[in-house]
Amino acid sequence: MRLITTSLAALALTACVHAQSPGDKAVLDSIDARYDETAAMARQIWDWAEVGYQEEKSSGLLQSKLSDAGFTVETGVAGIPTAFVASYGSGGPVIAVLAEFDALPGINQDASPDRSPIEGKHAGHACGHNLFGAGSVGAALAIRDWLEQTGTPGTIRLYGTPAEEGGSGKVYMVREGLFDDVDIALHWHGDDQNSAAAQTSLANRSAKFRFYGVSAHAAGAPERGRSALDGVESFNYMVNMMHEHVPQDARIHYVITSGGVAPNVVPDFAEVFYYARHPRADGVEDIWARMEDAARGAAMGTGTRVEWEVIHGNNPLLVNETLAKMMDAKLRQVGGVDYNAEEEAFAQEIYKSFAKPDLPLGSEKEVQPFEVSLGYGSTDVGDVSFAVPTVGLRAATWVPGTAAHSWQAVAASGMSIGYKGAQVAAKTLTLAAIELYENPKLRQAARAEFDAARGEDYEYTSLLGDRDPPLDYRK
């Protein structure tokens, strides 16, 4: 079920958003002029497909582009070698643009409309973060140009944020206070549609639960063994029964990452990797406490020992309707994606692979209606949204009907359909940033909504605790 609401305050504020100025076309034209450069960045990062906290080349490429353009780049921030902050300008307002660039392990695909894995490749940009990084840099460069040409006071700051996929890179950057002086944060994401809807996300936490047993010959001396895999399977059974007794919007899922090597050897080690999600952070905490009890019970019942390491944790997105209405207006000004004949043929082939697509071909040209709704994904942008007023959009970088984390998403992210979607995002982010620099009333209204939503007594709490960044979690 999707909940649709409208904020009267946000609607009223729409009148405060500036109409298109003669300078807007020049700004958008400058982004078009950089299309080849942005596409080349996106394709290179797609080719590298580096996973979380291992994105040395991808991060370095974005840093180099920004440094060459006159940005001051601080690298290795928050104890993360691939995290960086690039700044241009001085004083306020400070507008932040987020950039991601990590790939997903366990999936790969050529930029082809049929299932074509690339031999020897073990990761792919199934969430389009290659486009996210390149498009955000394209926006930052355009905003820099505008600040310089107009003499407008303020700072544009691009945050290079690694390991969004299960590593919570942004959480460590928030925890480090890197957003404390930011006025507004902007972000975007690849998708199969164009939308600036105010969509929340699920809070989540993950951990690797490790069971330790005693090895023995499974046939010759089974009584001497205590199976760590039995511990994992018992734990999984209990958690699976929990699914009936958690709130409707909660999600729990897992993979067994280690379960032994040979059937005739009782495994002395087994590991299972869990995610738990809920619309609220305290909901995750409640579910997690029950999972920990189940893990202890599984260990006790199987004669094994268990320990767990929290890998990541994200707060839900705190939507800001004031900013979302503004972003929606800018996205409608930019418009959607137009396919050429080659892209249309590619899209039609991809479309044939969908069982039940929920969007028709052609919808990539449209902007979806504005709404406030609950999204069932999770993102570390959530923690940023509790540190500073934050707003984002989704651009049609994939063929309509494409699911994230699919081979179809990888395919489109590595060719011009994805690149065109990234251009839509870059243009929209740029127009939004210009509006925010020029419209202090908008910034004030956004801040007032943000402060009211958090409450007077709000104190930031991270769902991953005080652990250091898990730089090896993808190794």
Question: Is the peptide bond preceding residue 93 cis, with omega within 30 degrees of 0?
Answer: yes
Provide the token pair at 391: 């707003």
Identify the weakest region by mean pLDDT among 8-22, 88-102, 170-184, 458-472. Answer: 8-22
Tell me the per-residue pLDDT of 397-451, one tens digit each, with 9 for 90 and over.
Answer: 999 999 999 999 999 999 999 999 999 999 999 999 999 999 999 999 999 999 9
Does the pLDDT value for residue 1 go beyond 80?
Answer: no
Beta carbons of 70 and 54 less than 8 angstroms apart: no
Q: How far apart are CA 185 and CA 433, in angstroms?
A: 9
Beta carbons of 192 and 402 less than 8 angstroms apart: yes
* Amino acid of residue 347: A
CA distances from 130 to 28, 160, 173, 416 (A): 21, 12, 20, 13
Q: How far apart are CA 189 and CA 195, in angstroms?
A: 10
Quote the percentage of the chain above a pLDDT of 90.
94
Rg (Cα) of the chain, in Å, rounded? 23
Provide the token pair at 395: 């651009």
Tell me the per-residue pLDDT of 170-186, one tens digit each, with 9 for 90 and over.
Answer: 999 999 999 999 999 99
Whole-model pTM: value is: 0.93
Nearest to 80 by CA among 380, 474, 471: 471
Phi, psi of 290 (to 5 degrees): -70, -40
Provide the token pair at 255: 């993979």
* Amino acid of residue 405: H
Q: How far apart are CA 52 and CA 166, in angstroms?
A: 8
Beta carbons of 201 and 379 less than 8 angstroms apart: yes
- Per residue, the 3-state secondary structure of the chain, as one string, reads CCCCCCCHHHHHHHHHCCCCCHHHHHHHHHHHHCHHHHHHHHHHHHHHCCECCCCHHHHHHHHHHHHHCCCEEEECHHHCCCCEEEEEEECCCEEEEEECCCEEECCCCCCCCCCCCCCCCCEECCCCHHHHHHHHHHHHHHHHHHHHHHCCCEEEEEEECCCCCCCCHHHHHHHCCCCCCCCEEEEEEEECCEECCEEECCEEEEEEEEEECECCECCCCHHHCECHHHHHHHHHHHHHHHHHHCCCCCEEEEEEEECCCCCCECCCEEEEEEEEEECCHHHHHHHHHHHHHHHHHHHHHHCCEEEEEEEEEECCCCCCHHHHHHHHHHHHHHCCCCCCHHHHHHHHHHHHCCCCCCCCCCHHHCECCCCEEECCCCCCHHHHHCCCCEEEEEEECCCCCCCCCCHHHHHHHCCHHHHHHHHHHHHHHHHHHHHHHHCHHHHHHHHHHHHHHHCCCCCCCCCCCCCCCCCCCCC
Beta carbons of 166 and 312 less than 8 angstroms apart: yes
Tell me the per-residue pLDDT of 326-376, one tens digit each, with 9 for 90 and over.
Answer: 999 999 999 999 999 999 999 999 999 999 999 999 999 999 999 999 999
CATH topology for the 203-313 domain? Alpha-Beta Plaits (3.30.70)
Pairing of strands 203-212, 372-374: unpaired
Q: Provide the pLDDT for residue 22.
A: 60
Q: Provide the pLDDT for residue 7.
A: 43
Q: How many CA atoms lie within 13 A of 312 on its CB side?
A: 32
Tell me the per-residue pLDDT of 126-173, one tens digit each, with 9 for 90 and over.
Answer: 999 999 999 999 999 999 999 999 999 999 999 999 999 999 999 999
Residue 263's Cβ-count burial label (10 Å; 0-12, 13-18, 19+) is exposed
| CATH number among 1.20.1050.10, 3.90.1580.10, 3.40.718.10, 3.40.630.10, domain 8-201+316-454 | 3.40.630.10
Q: Provide the pLDDT for residue 210.
A: 98
Domain ranges in the chain are: 8-201+316-454, 203-313
Q: How far apart are CA 206 and CA 264, in angstroms?
A: 31
